[in-house]
Structure 1
Amino acid sequence: MTETAVQEQITTAITNIGPADVEVDTSYENDSTYGDELSSYSASLTSSVLEYRHENGRRYHKYRDGAYLLPNDESENDRLDMVHEMFLLLLHGKLYLAPIKNPQRVMDLATGTGLWAIDFADQHPPAEVIGCDLSPIQPTLVPPNLKFLVDDLTSDWEYESNPFDFIHARYLCFSFKDIGKLVKQCYRSVKPGGWVEFQDWDAYPISQDGSLSGTDLEKYYNEVYGAFEKTGVEVRPGIKLEQWFKDAGFVNIQVEKFVIPYGVWPKDARLKKVGAWAQIQAEASGYESVAMAVLTRFENWKKEEVQILANKASADARRRDIHMMFNFYVVYGQRPEK
């Protein structure tokens, strides 16, 4: 399937189908592959923030060096933009699921390339929108009601005196060691009656038919995610979000679980489109992006060894007889009115 064909296929879709309900499209089995307010740790855009760490052919943030182990170069930024489109497809074009009304002050945590914040600001012109991230990689031409801050969200916040109506976070796995603390910080920084929504993965893959067992894909995830877990970084936040929200004190908590297949193997046309996007973003250096820093810095792997591991995983991901998928969770809750 050409990229143009995939793009033409990809339209808005949504699914809450559990893994056991995903039927394989057996017609593909004969083919072997398919193609003004800052926290105390905020930083202005000074030369120190704009410095980068270059390593193994990739670029990483320099501010709070080592706090985030994925790159922030153009290749990774392009991949993250693709992930944004995949999530829009998964959520039927919706940026969020929380029942917010007329938000006036909104924050997007770990905003990355800023696409979610840009889209939200466009859709809600009266709202003041703030996007926070360690890296100043966001565009400069943005809606007038949006601003980006360079901030270390793991440090203590100072937003309680001017709280938000809505706080959003998406795709924090591989980024934080204590997401439960982050959820509590959100609780303190949202207005009574305000909403907080986290969208995140259980990043360990599954296959309902056992087709993932013994593959290079399985080896890749065991090696890479095992290394992340040794450093204390959270790789399965999705399955823990509900409890973190309860512990923080939120009420009216809602949990919605989605499945994201990798590839166009599902028989269901909508899941096939979601899987196509997932495959495209993974092929855009996704396997190497996630693995390179954590394996070379903490597990003494050489660059070439990581590339071989990533290439083998990528080759397996193109096999039609491997039916890999991930669970993805959207959890939102409300701070009590009183």
Structure 2
Amino acid sequence: MLATANPTTPPTGSPTPADTAGVERAEGPITIDPALEEGPETQSEAETGSILSSSNASLSESIYEYRRIQGRTYTQKVDYWGPNDERQNEGLEIKDKLFLSPIGDNPQRVLDLGTGTGIWAIDFADEFPSAEVFGVDVSPIQPKWVPTNCKFQIDDIEQPWTWPDNYFHFIHIRNLEGCISNWTDLYKQAFKCMAPGGCIEVKEHDIELRSQIQELDDEHAFKSFSGNLLEACGRLGKVGLQCRDHGIAKSLKAAGFVDIVERKWPIPVGAWANDLVLKQVGSGALEFLDKSVEGFGIFLLKEVLGWEMAEILVLSSEFRKALKNFRTQPVFDLHIVYARKPETPMETA
């Protein structure tokens, strides 16, 4: 990771969540649309399309060699299991457009870890033209034309960082559950490279989906699919349960961050919510999962657990069917945790 500018203290306006430090806020439950309660179990409304976005700028063309498994492409980093082909990337853009984090009004140097298609970094650079935004990922799947204040780098964030100490004012991490071996070590690297008073924000969602209204047995497709994915992640040495039991907040605190604020929302899957915004969110979530299920499963189930492709397709089909059964009110929990690096070494949580 290459950087040249001199580190400075963060600009005024950087968020400092001291007033709600250590508090977890949970939203929900979600109210179902009454018009759906008497209808058939599967609604075409729950399969609505998404809004995709495009942007402009320059990215060097290197590291474009992929592994190909069952017609899907994957990065050469052998222990990263998310596919990087067009079908999966479309799903990533859908998900990236669902949520935007609260930020200060004048951030200067920003790092987006696990940038994926780069849409968050691009949007951030557009909204804050004075900021210098760096997006890092293991796959070169970002657009070639991006804002001049946005740069993408292909790198493995689990390796030692080469950014200067006290450099970034805001570090944004998302959608890496099950892809990192030691979260505390990653947060320690972020802490080291963050300017005093700077903020980190982590967005992750539970790998296991659940029903909002009933307990699911162990044979249910949600339990079976996620259970096998977590087993495969474990064999790769990756942590897939960071979201549980305040794991993100605990790791951030262990790394030295203070003023930790936890938020949690149940996110509907499908357009079954009564609220119009949640309907749109649910439609996007369903489309993302529908496009992603086989991409997630092929590498982990086939290459790690040794499943036959036919077995993967059967489980994927059962999972898709369960996604579209709005009567179970399927949801997953989204966790957003943000924290601050102390202004001085003496400052503690």
Partner of residue 31, structure 1: 40
Residue deviations 1:167-219 (CA, integer Å, cap 9, x gap): 11111113212122111111101001111111111222222322643433332
Moved over 4 A (4+): none
Aligned pairs for 1:148-159 within 5 A: 148-159=152-163
Q: Which residue of 1 aligns with 2:337?
A: 331
**Preserved CA contact (<8 Å) 2:179 2:233:** no
Match of 1:168 among 165, 172, 190: 172
Residue 238 of structure 2 corresponds to residue 233 of structure 1? yes
Whole-Å separation in 1 of the counterparts to 2:279 and 2:118: 27
1:207 aligns with 2:196: no
2:194 aligns to what?
A: 190
Q: Aligned equivalents of 1:289 and 1:275: distance in 2?
A: 20
Contact 1:262–1:278 at 8 Å: present in 2 too?
yes
CA distance in 1, matches of 2:248, 2:229: 22
The counterpart of 1:292, out of the listed 298, 305, 320, is 298
* Equivalent residues of 2:268, 2:285 under 8 A apart: yes
Partner of 2:70: 56
Q: Do the aligned partners of 1:212 and 1:322 also contact (CA within 8 Å) in 2?
A: no
Q: CA deviation at 1:104?
A: 1.4
TM-score with structure 2 setting the length: 0.81
Partner Cα distance (2:234, 2:179) in 1 = 11
CA distance in 1, matches of 2:222, 2:302: 19
1:104 aligns with 2:108: yes
CA distance in 2, matches of 1:235, 1:117: 25
Could you report, residue by residue, the CA deviation over 1:248-272 in whole angstroms, capped at 9, with x for unpaired residues? 1111211111111111223333333
Q: Does 1:76 align with 2:88?
A: yes
Q: Deviations over 1:96-117 (max 9, x none)?
A: 224x241111111111100000
Q: Secondary structure of 1:203's partner?
A: coil
CA distance in 2, matches of 1:208, 1:316: 13
Q: In 1, are the aligned partners of 2:209 and 2:222 still within 8 Å (CA)?
A: no
SS at 2:228's partner residue?
Answer: helix
> 1:259-295: per-residue Cα shift (whole Å, max 9, x none)?
11111223333333221111121122x1111111011
TM-score by length of 1: 0.84
- Aligned counterparts, 1:123-138, within 5 A: 123-138=127-142
Choose which of 223, 232, 256 in structure 2 pairs with 1:218.
223
| Paired residues of 2:166 and 2:192 also in contact (CA < 8 A) | no
CA–CA distance in 1 between the matches of 2:123 and 2:208? 29
Question: Residue 307 of structure 2: which of 301, 305, 310 is its match?
Answer: 301
Q: What displacement does 1:236 show?
A: 2.8
Instruction: Give unmatched runs, 5+ long, in structure 1.
Output: 1-15, 36-43, 88-94
Partner of 2:278: 271
| Partner residue of 2:288 out of 281, 293, 298 | 281
Choose 215-224 or 121-130, whichever is displaced more: 215-224
Q: Distance in 2 between matches of 1:302 and 1:278?
A: 28
* Aligned equivalents of 2:133, 2:255: Cα separation in 1: 24
Structure 2 unaligned spans of 5+: 1-24, 45-59, 345-349
Q: What's the % identity of the aligned pairs? A: 34
Q: Give SS of 1:237's match.
A: coil
Bigger mean CA offset, 262-271 vs 273-282: 262-271
Amino acid at match of 1:288: E
Q: Distance in 2 between matches of 1:23 and 1:283?
A: 23
